[in-house]
């Protein structure tokens, strides 16, 4: 059996006394776009630097094509990095920047090199910029050159450390599409680090959600978005209303839970078992909820506290059993409500999930 | 109110420059004076300059000064750059130690440094001459190169060096293809400074000069014992022009350095 392209086996890393990576284990397959997603300081960049060889691991192993690359210096690993600030050589023009890798490794003749530089410049749509110096380029252009400079080495894996972080919103959206397209075109395996969930959901084949140095969940964007496996992922991905409820009874697919005087039926989680009498967490996507003026089955009763119009979106805040809930509607159809009105909140069945209550979260005041 | 203070400021500044540059100007002026006395101006002449170039001892010591200065600049550039670059890879404690040792020669009084070197070179039986002059001048020139290169290195983004490694460069290749090209302007500026400092050093050179190898400033100093002759004025004028030229050149490279980044 062919080994996976890259395997991380129980990787641990300390900075002094701080345990930054805790037993990280997962594999990366050939040709996939994998994103490491997490809040700042969660260890995602450190993990990327460990793969690049810019940081050493404390224990555990990193295998490329089934062979350990632990202790191999960065220049001997077939892995290249695109840095957050692009890190182009300021004293070299675009051509020499891109030619840097093959030149120091003496892997090509100068004539071969000319053709290859042309190829990668074409790939990132920067033909004709060969003679420019880095300081004469815009942020987006520098980004493309940094990618071209890495791709010319034909790395087994391209590591990208928040490469779009410094760009403005519009350019960022554009580059997202372009990066995903580039990845498909070259077939290069991308490992992408970001704290932006939209970026991760948009581009990735798979997402690894990391928090406090631990892998919280690994799965497809759809899976992570719809079936978060724990509370961290539930709160980090997608905008959800989080409520503490108590389980009344459990059925085959759904469970009845109580929130104040409301009793509603919610889809049961796949990976956790829940017992009647237990406390649990109910999380519902804001944009999968709707306000209804008429009493309906499986609804929460609440009082409208404020309504905000933001273009095509309407954000309605309600008080349900002393808790504030936000509902995002895209067009106002159902009912004309005003502040102070008593209404009912309903939701799409798959937009709501139940999770067991974790001790740590009670402290955070859920 | 504001006008008044600015007028006072202008006056103060003019006074400052007059006090600073009037003596220098008088030296230049009297080097062209036909009379050997500074008491009166009797007409314009270039005789003192002609006499200067006919003086074998002066021409010889000028040659020594230039040779020593060039070698000092070269040696300081190599040693200062090497220590600055090496200190990028050592531990913080080691770095502080290097830094301390580098700054020390600037703090030790030159007279003490001169005596110490005299005793040292004497005890190892090194003949006084070009070699002792270059070594002792480098002692106080290396720190300048080290400091200037160090400042430039601090400005270099660490991720540039990491990306060079990442793209396949060995440590030596990173130094050769990234670090050195980026610090070259600072090395040039610092070497020019070293050149100027070596050229006008008197105290240490007095101790280090050999029987036949005397630097120009040391020779001028000995000439002064018999009194200030117009020949000395002419010589000082030439040195002044030379120093201004070198400093101007170093400022120019500094400016270009700034523009490139």
pLDDT, tens digit (0-9, with 9 covering 90-100), for B211-224: 778 888 888 888 88
pLDDT exceeds cutoff 50 at A365: no
> Cα–Cα distance between A335 and A295 in angstroms, integer?
12
Mean pLDDT of all residues belonging to chain B: 87
pLDDT-derived band at B102 (thresholds 50, 70, 90) equals confident
Shortest Cα distance, chain A CAs vs residue B124, angstroms? 45
Does an H or E element contain B64, and which?
helix B56-86
Where does chain A show beta strands of DSSP type E? 6-15, 18-28, 33-37, 59-64, 67-68, 79-82, 157-161, 189-194, 206-211, 214-219, 240-250, 254-259, 262-267, 279-285, 289-292, 300-310, 313-320, 323-329, 342-347, 352-356
Burial class of residue A252, CB neighbours in 10 A (0-12, 13-18, 19+): exposed
Residue B163, chain A, CB below 8 Å: the answer is yes
| N-terminal to C-terminal alpha carbon distance within chain A | 47
Token couple for A121: 């410049």
**What ipTM score was computed for the predicted complex, to two decimals?**
0.80
Distance of CA A25 to the CA centre of its chain: 17
Hey, of A45, A50, A54, A74, which one would you mutate to test binding to chain B, going by the most B CBs within 10 A of its CB? A74
Q: How many interface pairs between A and B have CB atoms less than 8 angstroms apart?
A: 62
Summary mean pLDDT of chain A: 88
Q: At what angle do helices B180-199 and B230-260 cross, to 10 degrees?
A: 170
> CB of B92 within 8 Å of any CB in chain A?
no
End-to-end CA distance of chain B: 42
Q: What is the distance in angstroms between the Cα of B159 and the nearest Cα belonging to chain A? A: 6
Instruction: Kindly determine whether residue A91 and residue B181, on different chains, have CB atoms separated by under 8 Å.
Output: yes
Q: How confident is the model at residue B51 (pLDDT cuts 50, 70, 90)?
A: confident
CA distance A347 to A246: 19
Nearest to A87 among B163, B168, B169 (CB): B163
The answer to whether the CB atoms of A100 and B162 lie below 8 A apart is no
**Residues sharing a CB contact under 8 Å with residue B145, sequence separation 6 or more, in sequence order:** B76, B77, B79, B80, B81, B84, B187, B190, B191, B194
- Candidates A91, A96, A158, A162: best to mutate against B (most CBs of B within 10 A) is A91
Largest CA distance in chain A: 77
Inter-chain CB proximity B166 and A75 less than 8 Å = yes
Judge whether B192 and B252 are in contact, CB under 8 Å: no
Q: Which residue of A has its CA nearest to B155?
A: A90
Note if the pTM is more than 0.90: no
Q: What is the pLDDT of residue A230?
A: 85
pLDDT tens digits for range A86-107: 999 999 999 999 999 999 999 8
CA angle A272, A277, A280 (to 5 degrees): 45
Average pLDDT on A67-82 reads 90
Chain B residue with CA closest to A51: the answer is B166
Interval A14-21 mean pLDDT: 92
Phi-psi region of A41 (alpha: psi -120 to 50; beta: other; left: phi over 0): left
Query: Rg of chain B's alpha carbons, rounded to an integer?
Result: 23
The per-residue pLDDT for range A178-228, each reduced to its tens digit, is 899 999 999 999 999 999 998 999 999 999 999 999 999 999 999 999 888
Residue A238: count other Cβ atoms within 10 Å of its Cβ: 19
Tokens 């600049």 correspond to: B73
B162-182: average pLDDT: 94
Distances from the Cα of A294 to the Cα of A154, A341, A342, B203, B205, angstroms? 61, 12, 10, 100, 101
Interface test with B, best of A82, A100, A191 (most B CBs within 10 A): A100
Domains and CATH numbers, chain B: 62-217 (1.10.3720.10)
Instruction: Check B165 against A54: CB less than 8 A apart.
Output: yes
Quote the pLDDT of residue A366: 45
- Confidence category of residue B5, pLDDT binned at 50, 70, 90: low
pLDDT number for residue A361: 58
* CB contact at 8 A, A54 and A21: no
Name the residue of chain B whose CA is nearest to A76's CA. Answer: B168
CB A160 within 8 A of CB A190: yes
Q: What is the pLDDT of residue B1?
A: 47
Residues in A lying within 8 Å of B, measured between beta carbons: 52-54, 73-75, 79-81, 83-85, 87-91, 100-101, 104-105, 149-150, 153
């Amino acid at each position: 059996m062919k080994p996976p392209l890259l395997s991380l086996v129980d990787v641990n890393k300390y900075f002094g006394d701080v345990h930054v990576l805790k037993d990280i284990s997962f594999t990366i397959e050939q040709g996939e776009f994998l994103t490491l997603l997490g809040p700042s300081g969660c260890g995602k960049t450190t993990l990327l630097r460990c793969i690049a060889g810019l940081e050493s691991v404390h224990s555990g192993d990193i295998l490329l094509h089934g062979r350990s690359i632990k202790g191999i210096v960065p220049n001997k690993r077939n892995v290249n990095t695109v840095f957050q600030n692009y890190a182009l050589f300021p004293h070299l023009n675009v051509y020499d920047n891109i030619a840097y890798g093959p030149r120091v490794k003496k892997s090509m003749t100068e004539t071969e090199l000319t053709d290859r530089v042309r190829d990668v410049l074409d790939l990132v749509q920067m033909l004709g910029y060969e003679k420019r110096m880095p300081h004469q380029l815009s942020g987006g252009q520098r980004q493309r050159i940094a990618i071209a400079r890495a791709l010319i080495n034909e790395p087994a894996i391209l590591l990208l450390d928040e490469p779009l972080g410094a760009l403005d919103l519009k350019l960022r959206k554009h580059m997202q599409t372009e990066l995903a397209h580039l990845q498909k075109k070259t077939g290069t395996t991308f490992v992408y680090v970001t704290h932006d969930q939209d970026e991760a959901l948009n581009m990735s084949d798979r997402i690894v959600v990391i928090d406090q140095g631990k892998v919280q969940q690994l799965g497809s964007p759809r899976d992570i978005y719809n079936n978060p496996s724990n509370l961290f992922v539930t709160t980090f991905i997608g905008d959800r209303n989080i409520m503490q409820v108590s389980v009344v009874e459990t059925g085959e697919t759904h469970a009845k839970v109580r929130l104040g005087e409301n009793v509603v039926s919610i889809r049961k989680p796949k990976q956790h078992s829940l017992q009647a009498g237990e406390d649990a967490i109910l999380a519902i996507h804001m944009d999968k909820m709707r306000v209804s003026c008429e009493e309906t089955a499986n609804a929460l009763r609440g009082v409208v506290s404020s309504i905000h119009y933001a273009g095509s979106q309407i954000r309605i805040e309600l008080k349900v059993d002393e808790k504030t809930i936000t509902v995002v509607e895209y067009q106002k159809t159902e009912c004309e409500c005003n502040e102070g009105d008593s209404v009912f909140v309903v939701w799409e069945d798959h937009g709501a999930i139940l999770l067991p209550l974790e001790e740590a979260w009670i402290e955070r005041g859920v | 109110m504001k006008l008044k203070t600015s007028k006072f400021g202008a006056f103060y500044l003019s006074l400052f420059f007059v006090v600073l540059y009037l003596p220098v100007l008088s030296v230049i002026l009297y080097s062209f004076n036909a009379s050997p006395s500074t008491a009166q101006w009797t007409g314009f002449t270039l005789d003192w300059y002609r006499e200067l170039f006919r003086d074998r001892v002066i021409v010889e010591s000028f040659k020594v000064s230039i040779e020593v200065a060039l070698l000092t600049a070269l040696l300081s550039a190599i040693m200062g750059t090497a220590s600055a670059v090496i200190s990028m890879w050592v531990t913080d404690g080691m770095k502080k130690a290097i830094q301390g040792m580098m700054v020390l020669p600037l703090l030790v009084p030159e007279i003490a440094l001169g005596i110490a070197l005299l005793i040292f070179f004497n005890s190892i039986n090194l003949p006084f001459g070009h070699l002792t002059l270059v070594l002792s001048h480098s002692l106080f020139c290396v720190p300048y190169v080290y400091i200037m290169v160090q400042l430039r290195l601090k400005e270099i983004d660490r991720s540039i060096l990491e990306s060079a490694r990442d793209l396949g460069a060995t440590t030596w290749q990173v130094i050769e293809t990234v670090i050195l090209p980026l610090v070259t302007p600072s090395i040039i500026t610092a070497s020019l400074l070293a050149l100027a400092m070596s050229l006008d050093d008197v105290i240490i050179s007095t101790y280090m000069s050999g029987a036949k190898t005397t630097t120009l400033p040391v020779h001028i100093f000995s000439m002064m014992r018999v009194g200030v002759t117009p020949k000395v004025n002419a010589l000082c004028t030439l040195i002044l022009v030379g120093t201004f030229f070198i400093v101007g050149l170093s400022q120019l490279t500094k400016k270009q350095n700034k523009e490139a980044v």
